């Protein structure tokens, strides 16, 4: 029997913004254009769950482009303030919601006494 199991990692853009980041080329803090991505696993192209955010960083001074830079406190100094502004896209949780649904129904039915 042939069985195709398609899964992998996908990315979807979240937002674009300007941040002050340390540029490895300029070796100083510079304004950079950042394109943020939500990285998620998928099975048969259905998103399972998001696991991290990464960024494409373009230095505004020297033009250095960096791809798949982890979006964390190492990249952005005020990360703690801004991380709330950039959330994973809702659809990247679809798989987790589908998996959780029977359990949620079971808990509700159990609570109702069925």
Task: Give dist(CA 58, CA 18) in Å, integer.
Answer: 9
> Contact with Zn ion (CB under 5 A): which of 26, 58, 69, 82?
26
Stretch that binds Zn ion, among 41-49, 55-63, 67-75, 86-94 (CB under 5 A): 55-63
Stretch that binds Zn ion, among 18-26, 38-46, 47-55, 106-114 (CB under 5 A): 18-26
Nearest CA to 22 out of 93, 89, 73 is that of: 73
> Contact with Zn ion (CB under 5 A): which of 11, 61, 65, 74?
61
Nearer to Zn ion, 27 or 81 (CB): 27
Let me know: does 83 contact 36? Beta carbons within 8 Å. Answer: no
CA atoms within 13 A on the CB side of 114: 6
- Residue 67 beta carbon to Zn ion: minimum distance, rounded to whole angstroms: 15
């Amino acid at each position: 029997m042939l069985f195709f199991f398609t899964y992998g990692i996908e990315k979807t853009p979240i937002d674009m913004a300007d941040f002050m980041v340390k540029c490895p080329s300029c070796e100083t803090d510079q304004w950079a254009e950042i394109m943020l991505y939500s990285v998620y696993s998928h099975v048969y192209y259905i998103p399972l769950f998001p696991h991290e955010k990464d960024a494409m960083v373009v230095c505004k001074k020297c033009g250095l482009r960096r791809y798949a830079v982890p979006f964390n406190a190492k990249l952005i100094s005020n990360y703690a303030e801004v991380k709330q502004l950039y959330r994973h896209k809702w659809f990247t949780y679809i798989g987790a919601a589908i998996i959780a649904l029977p359990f949620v129904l079971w808990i509700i039915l159990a609570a109702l006494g069925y």
